[in-house]
Amino acid sequence: MSTTEMTGVGKVIRFPIERTEIQRIIGELRQQEEEIKLCLDDLEALNEHIVELTAEYEMLLNRVCELNQINLEGDEDEER
């Protein structure tokens, strides 16, 4: 593919549009990749927080059941 063309007026220089677009797209891909990494980090932190909350919830629930003398399903198997 030629980067110059002859017209009735003179030479027309064709700029590398494809290369400029590729560079723009690569830049956008890098931005998207960084955003995905940030979201995954946030997701990991949220998951860890959920695990901690769930453990605390289970401890509180077990204590309430203990105070009310309630056996949760599965507790009998654990005691055997």
Q: What is the pLDDT of residues 30-59, one digit of tens each?
A: 999 999 999 999 999 999 999 999 999 999
**Res. 2 pLDDT band, cuts 50 70 90:** very low
Whole-prediction pTM: 0.56
The better pLDDT of the pair 7, 9 is held by 9
Q: What one-character DSSP code corresponds to residue 73?
A: T
Rounded Cα–Cα distance for residues 22 and 17 (Å): 9
